[in-house]
C-alpha cells in the first residue's frame, strides 16, 4: 500500500528482529523497504556494510550520524549530548575521544577486572546460602542485578547493592552492613532512575510528537519528561560533588579509577592529557560529562546481562566446550580460587575469547542498529544522497551463508586462527570484510566492547572455578524476549561447589 509501505508485513512476525530475518530471506542482503514515508536501506552482508564499518577515515567520516534527526530524542536532549545519538559532531568527536582514551587505559581495564571479581565473590556468598538451602537460581535475574551493580560502581564510583536486594526478595535478610543508609538510598535512587530512563527513551523515540502532546496523553508525556530531568539533575549533582572532592586533593594523591573520576581528571594535574588535537586540550564541563555517563549507563546494563546469560547457556548446553574452557582456565589460573586475579591473565584466555565471540555471533543482543550518512556516499554499488537511514542487520551479517562455513552451527574454534581448520577465520570463505559485526564498526563502533568482554570473562572464570553449573531443566532453550534488544525471561540453573584439586 503506497502510504503504509511495508508496514503491514510486520504483522506476520513476532518482532522487528524476526521481520528483518524475513526481509533478508525474501529480498536478499541489501534491499529497500518503507515504513510509511520513511525509507530504510537494510544491509545484511559484511561486504555491503564495509563503507560504514571500515576504519578508513575517508569512508567512515561519511557515516558520523547514528540516525536521522528524531524529534523525541531531541526533546530528551540526547541528540545534543553524549556519544550515542549526539548530532553535534564537534562535541561528539571530543566526547568520543575522551571515552576511547579512558577505556583503552590498562589501569582502567585492570580496575574493571578487579572490581568485577570482587563483586562476583560477594555475590557468591549469597549463592552459597541458596545452594545450602537447595534453592534454584534464576541466572537471568541475578545477572541483571549484578550487571547493574557493576555498571553503577565502575562508572560512577558509587556503591550498589541490587544483588543484595535480589537476595532479600527471596525471603532472606542481608543488611549490607558495609553500606550506610545514605549510600543505600543513593544507590537505590540511581538504579530506579536508570530503569525509568530506559523505558522513557523508548516512548520518546518511537511515539510521534503529535501523539505524545495530544490532549489526554500530554500529561503522561509530562511525567516522563520530569523523569528525564530528575535523572539529569541527579547525575549532575554526583558529578559536581566528585569534582569538588577532586579539587581538594593534592596533585600527588592517588585517585579512584572509576570512569567518572577519570573523565573529570582528563587534562588536569590529576589525570591523563590528550594532545591529539587542539580542541582536546581542555576538560569536559559538567553537562558534557553527564551526557557521556548517561549514554554509557544506558548501553551497558541490559546488553551485558544478555551476553553473560548467553555464554552460560552455551556452557551448560555444550559439555565438551565447558571442558575446553575449564582446561584453559586451569592452565592460566591453576586449580585454586585465588584472589590474585590479574587482568593480564585474562588476555591469555584465547578459547574463552572465541567462546564469547561465537556466542555473540549467533545471538546478537542488538540485532540491528541504524546509521545515517552526513554526505553523499556509495554503498552496495549505488550512490546515495546524504541523510539516508541504513539499517545494519547485525544478526543477518553474523550468520550470512556467503561469509561463514556452517553459519548456524555453534563452533567457537572458528575464531581461533589455524591454517589446519577449515572453519577458522583464516579460511577464504570466512575472511570477508566485517563478517563479525556484533559490536558495529567505523566511526560509531561500540567503544565499550573490551570493557564488556572483560566483565564477561571475569565472571565466567570466577563461576567455573568455584561451581559446577547445569540447567535445572535439561531441555532449557533460549527463553528470550525482544523490544529494542534481546533480554532473557528466565534461565534457571543449579550450582554445586566444585571440588578443589590439591
What digits encode the pLDDT tens for the residues 79-128? 999 999 999 999 999 999 999 989 988 889 999 999 999 999 999 999 99
**Is residue 18 assigned to a domain?**
yes
pTM above 0.75, yes or no: yes
Q: Rounded to an integer, what distance in angstroms lies between the CA atom of residue 82 and that of residue 226?
A: 19
Q: What is the CA radius of gyration of the chain?
A: 23
**Is residue 441 assigned to a domain?**
yes
How many CA atoms, within 13 angstroms, populate the side-chain half-sphere of residue 71? 8
- The continuous run of DSSP H or E covering 492 comes out as strand 492-497
Nearest residue to 234 via CA among 180, 282, 187, 173: 187
Q: What b-and-e string marks burial along 326-351, b requiring 16 or more CB atoms within 10 Å of the CB?
A: bebbeeebeeeeeeebebeebeebeb
**Is residue 1 assigned to a domain?**
no
Q: Provide DSSP, 39-50.
A: EEEEE--HHHHH
**Is residue 424 assigned to a domain?**
yes
**Is residue 366 assigned to a domain?**
yes
**Is residue 141 assigned to a domain?**
yes
Q: Do strands 492-497 and 467-471 pair parallel, antiparallel, or not at all (unpaired)?
A: antiparallel
How many structural domains does the chain have? Answer: 1
Q: Rounded to an integer, what distance in angstroms lies between the CA atom of residue 491 and that of residue 478?
A: 8
Confirm or deny that 352 is annotated as ligand binding.
no
16-64: per-residue pLDDT in tens?
999 999 999 999 999 999 988 889 999 999 999 999 998 776 677 899 9
**Is residue 502 assigned to a domain?**
no
Domain enclosing residue 333, as ranges: 7-497
**CATH value at residue 119:** 1.10.630.10
What average pLDDT does the chain have?
Answer: 88
Please, which residues have CB within 8 angstroms of residue 180's CB and are 6 or more apart in sequence?
A: none
Q: Provide DSSP, 65-117.
A: BSSS--HHHHHHTGGGSSSSS---HHHHHHHHHHHHHHHT-HHHHHHHHHHHH
Q: Which three cell numbers stand for residue 396?
A: 543477518
**Is residue 2 assigned to a domain?**
no
Helices (H), 207-282: 209-212, 218-247, 259-265
Please count the other Cβ atoms lying within 10 Å of the Cβ belonging to residue 416. Answer: 15
Residue 275 has pLDDT above 70, yes or no: no
Residue 430 has pLDDT above 50, yes or no: no
379-405: per-residue pLDDT in tens?
999 999 999 999 999 999 999 998 899
Amino acid at each position: 500500500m503506497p502510504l503504509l509501505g511495508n508496514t503491514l508485513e510486520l504483522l506476520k512476525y513476532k518482532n522487528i528482529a524476526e521481520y528483518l530475518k524475513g526481509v533478508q530471506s525474501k529480498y536478499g542482503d541489501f534491499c529497500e523497504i518503507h515504513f510509511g514515508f520513511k525509507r530504510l536501506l537494510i544491509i545484511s552482508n559484511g561486504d555491503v556494510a564495509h563503507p560504514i564499518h571500515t576504519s578508513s577515515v575517508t569512508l567512515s567520516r561519511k557515516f558520523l550520524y547514528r540516525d536521522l534527526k528524531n524529534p523525541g530524542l531531541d526533546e530528551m536532549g540526547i541528540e545534543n549530548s553524549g556519544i550515542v545519538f549526539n548530532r553535534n559532531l564537534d562535541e561528539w568527536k571530543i566526547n568520543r575521544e575522551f571515552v576511547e582514551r579512558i577505556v583503552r587505559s590498562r589501569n582502567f581495564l585492570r580496575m574493571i577486572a578487579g572490581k568485577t571479581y570482587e563483586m562476583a565473590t560477594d555475590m557468591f556468598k549469597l549463592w552459597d546460602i541458596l545452594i545450602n538451602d537447595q534453592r534454584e537460581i534464576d541466572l537471568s535475574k541475578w545477572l541483571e542485578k549484578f550487571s547493574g551493580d557493576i555498571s553503577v560502581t565502575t562508572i560512577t564510583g558509587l556503591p550498589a547493592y541490587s544483588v543484595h536486594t535480589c537476595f532479600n526478595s527471596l525471603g532472606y535478610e542481608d543488611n549490607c552492613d558495609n553500606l550506610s543508609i545514605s549510600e543505600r538510598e543513593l544507590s537505590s535512587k540511581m538504579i530506579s532512575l536508570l530503569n525509568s530512563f530506559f523505558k522513557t527513551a523508548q516512548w520518546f523515540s518511537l511515539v510521534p510528537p503529535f501523539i505524545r502532546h495530544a490532549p489526554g496523553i500530554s500529561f503522561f508525556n509530562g511525567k516522563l519528561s520530569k523523569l528525564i530531568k530528575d535523572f539529569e539533575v541527579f547525575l549532575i549533582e554526583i558529578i559536581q560533588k566528585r569534582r569538588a572532592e577532586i579539587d581538594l586533593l593534592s596533585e600527588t594523591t592517588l585517585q579512584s579509577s572509576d570512569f567518572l573520576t577519570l573523565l573529570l581528571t582528563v587534562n588536569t594535574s590529576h589525570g591523563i592529557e590528550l594532545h591529539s588535537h587542539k580542541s582536546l586540550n581542555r576538560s569536559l564541563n559538567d553537562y558534557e560529562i553527564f551526557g557521556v555517563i548517561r549514554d554509557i549507563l544506558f548501553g551497558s546494563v541490559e546488553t551485558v546481562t544478555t551476553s553473560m546469560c548467553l555464554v552460560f547457556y552455551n556452557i551448560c548446553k555444550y559439555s565438551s566446550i565447558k571442558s575446553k574452557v575449564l582446561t584453559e582456565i586451569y592452565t592460566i589460573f591453576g586449580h585454586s580460587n585465588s584472589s590474585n586475579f590479574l587482568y593480564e591473565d585474562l588476555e591469555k584466555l584465547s578459547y574463552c575469547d572465541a567462546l564469547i565471540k561465537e556466542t555473540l555471533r549467533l545471538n546478537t543482543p542488538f540485532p540491528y542498529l541504524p546509521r545515517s550518512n552526513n554526505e553523499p556516499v556509495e554503498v552496495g554499488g549505488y550512490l546515495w544522497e546524504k541523510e539516508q537511514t541504513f539499517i545494519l542487520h547485525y544478526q543477518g551479517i553474523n550468520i550470512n551463508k556467503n561469509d561463514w562455513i556452517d553459519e548456524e552451527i555453534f563452533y567457537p574454534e572458528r575464531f581461533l586462527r589455524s591454517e589446519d581448520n577449515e572453519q577458522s577465520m583464516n579460511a577464504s570463505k570466512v575472511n570477508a570484510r566485517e563478517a563479525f559485526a556484533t559490536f558495529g564498526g567505523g566511526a560509531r563502533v561500540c567503544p565499550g566492547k573490551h570493557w564488556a568482554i572483560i566483565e564477561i570473562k571475569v565472571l565466567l572464570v570466577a563461576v567455573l572455578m568455584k561451581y559446577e553449573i547445569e540447567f535445572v531443566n535439561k531441555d532449557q532453550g533460549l527463553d528470550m524476549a525482544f523490544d529494542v534488544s534481546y533480554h532473557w525471561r528466565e534461565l534457571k540453573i543449579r550450582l554445586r561447589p566444585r571440588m578443589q584439586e590439591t
